Chain A
Amino acid sequence: MALYSEKVMDHFRNPRNVGTIENADGMGEVGNAKCGDIMKIYLKIENDIIADVKFETFGCGSAIASSSMATEMIKGKPLSEALALTNKAVAEALDGLPAHKLHCSVLAEEAIKNAVLDYYKRSGIPYDEEAFRTCEHCGDES
Chain B
Amino acid sequence: MQVYADNAATAPIRPAALEAYVTAARKFYGNPSSLHETGQAAKEALENSRGRIARALGATNADKIIFTSGGSEADNQAIFSAARAGARKGKRKIVSTAIEHHAVLHPLEKLRREGFEVVLVPVNQNGIVSVQDIEKELSDDVCLVSVMLANNEIGTLQPVREIGAVCKARKIPLHTDAVQAVGHIPVNAAELGADYLSLSAHKFGGPRGCGALYVRAGAPLFPLIEGGAQEKGKRAGTENLPAIVATAVALDEALNALPQTAQKLTRLRDRLIAGLSKIPHSALNGDEKQRLPGNVSFCFEGIEGEGLLLYLSDMGVFASSGSACTSGSLDPSHVLLAIGRVHDVAHGSLRLTLGEENTEEEVDYLISSVCEVVEKLRAFSPVWRELTNGKRKFIL
A-to-B contact residues, CB < 8 Å: 1, 9, 12-13, 15, 18-20, 29, 33-40, 55-61, 63-64, 100
Contacts and interface: CB of A to CB of B under 8 A. Distances in A.
Given A33-B347, A34-B343, A40 B306 contact: no
Among all A-B residue pairs, the 9 with the closest Cβ atoms: A60-B325, A60-B306, A33-B344, A56-B382, A36-B347, A34-B343, A40-B382, A58-B383, A58-B381
Contacts of A60: 304-307, 323, 325-326
Contacts of B305: 60
Contacts of B29: none
Given A34-B344, A64-B307, A57 B314 contact: no
A29 B381 CA distance: 12
B93 to A, nearest CB: 33
B325 to A, nearest CB: 4
Nearest to A56: B382
Contacts of B332: 36
B218 interface: no
Nearest to B381: A58
27 contacts: A9-B310, A12-B307, A13-B311, A18-B379, A33-B344, A33-B347, A33-B383, A34-B342, A34-B343, A34-B344, A35-B330, A36-B323, A36-B347, A38-B381, A38-B382, A38-B383, A39-B382, A56-B380, A57-B382, A58-B304, A58-B384, A59-B306, A59-B307, A60-B323, A61-B307, A63-B304, A64-B307
The secondary structure that dominates the B interface is helix
Contacts of B311: 13
A100 B326 CA distance: 11
Nearest to B384: A58
Nearest to B332: A36
Contacts of A18: 379-380
B343 A35 contact: yes
A1 B305 CA distance: 16
Interface of B: 302-307, 310-311, 313-314, 323-326, 328, 330, 332, 342-344, 347, 379-385
Nearest to A37: B304
Contact of A1 (B313, B328, B384): B313
Contacts of A56: 380-382, 385
Contacts of B328: 100
Of A40, A55, A60, which is in contact with the most chain B CB atoms at under 10 Å from its CB?
A60
A36 B382 contact: no
A56 B324 CA distance: 20
Contacts of B383: 33, 38, 58
Nearest to B314: A13
A57 B380 contact: yes
Nearest to A19: B380
A29 B382 contact: yes
Given A29-B382, A56-B382, A100-B328, A61 B306 contact: yes
A59 B306 CA distance: 8
Given A9-B310, A20-B385, 14 more contacts: A1-B313, A19-B380, A34-B344, A36-B304, A36-B332, A38-B381, A40-B382, A56-B381, A56-B385, A58-B304, A59-B307, A61-B307, A61-B325, A100-B328
Contacts of B380: 15, 18-19, 55-57, 64
A64 B311 CA distance: 12
Contacts of B385: 20, 56
Nearest to B392: A33
B170 to A, nearest CB: 41
Contacts of A59: 304, 306-307, 325
A56 B283 CA distance: 24
Contacts of A61: 306-307, 310, 325
B69 to A, nearest CB: 25
